[in-house]
Amino acid sequence: MSLRHCILWYCLAIVFHPICIDMEIVMSLDRFVAISHPLLYRRCNRKFCLALLVVISVLHGVTDLLCRILLSHHSAKIPICLLFYTGPEEVIDAANGLFYIAAIVVLILNLYVIFLALRQRRRVRQQQDGSGSANRQSWDIRIARTLTFCIASDTITRVICQILRQYARHSNDAVRRRNLGLSAELLDFSALATFVILTVRSSNLRNVMLKPLKSVKMFVIEIVQ
């Protein structure tokens, strides 16, 4: 992939990062229903998941944007605020709290999906002699593992960032406070960069994140018609 495409992916991730997280939540729910209750996995359930995706993504995206705008009013470096959460610690904590809630939900769902997929694949292997169903289950396992690793690494990094910010807040040394704050921002940036790199390199994860966009488009067209 060319450098231009990597830059484009990075810019899109900055804008749609919270929306991508919400997509992962809905896709995890979608896979959970498909694996655990295949008879209930009908078009109405898929429409509900897509509607939930639209509502959560819009609310989360708007909240994230409002937090960044609020932070920009407390800092002279407005362009930097659009990339990093820089500003009053209380506002930063409130903004990051939304991410923590979403990340915890995603981790729990994906770990459960891995468990269900492993159990279902074992049943398929016992009933059939290795066909498309088993391959489908292994594909679900790979996606769930990739998503779990991405969100786990991102969440752990952000928790470390919060610890560094807390130390910086209570430090009396100006140099130490500045260094800790800079380290927290660099770690925050690395978390997003890691998320983008894994997304670009993982075709499975790209499909998971792009497929809901196409489904939402078709869902909107169906509503309009």
Cα(161)–Cα(100) distance, rounded to whole angstroms? 12
Instruction: Give residue 77's pLDDT.
Output: 45
DSSP class of 225: -
Instruction: Give residue 176's pLDDT.
Output: 80
Instruction: Give residue 85's pLDDT.
Output: 46
**Torsional sign, CA 85, 183, 157, 154:** positive
Task: Indicate the burial class of 198 (C-beta count within 10 angstroms; 0-12, 13-18, 19 or more).
Answer: middle
Positions in the chain whose pLDDT score sits under 50: 1-3, 6-7, 9-10, 13-14, 40, 43, 75-86, 212, 219, 223, 225
Instruction: Give residue 30's pLDDT.
Output: 58
pTM of the predicted model as reported, rounded to 2 decimal places: 0.47
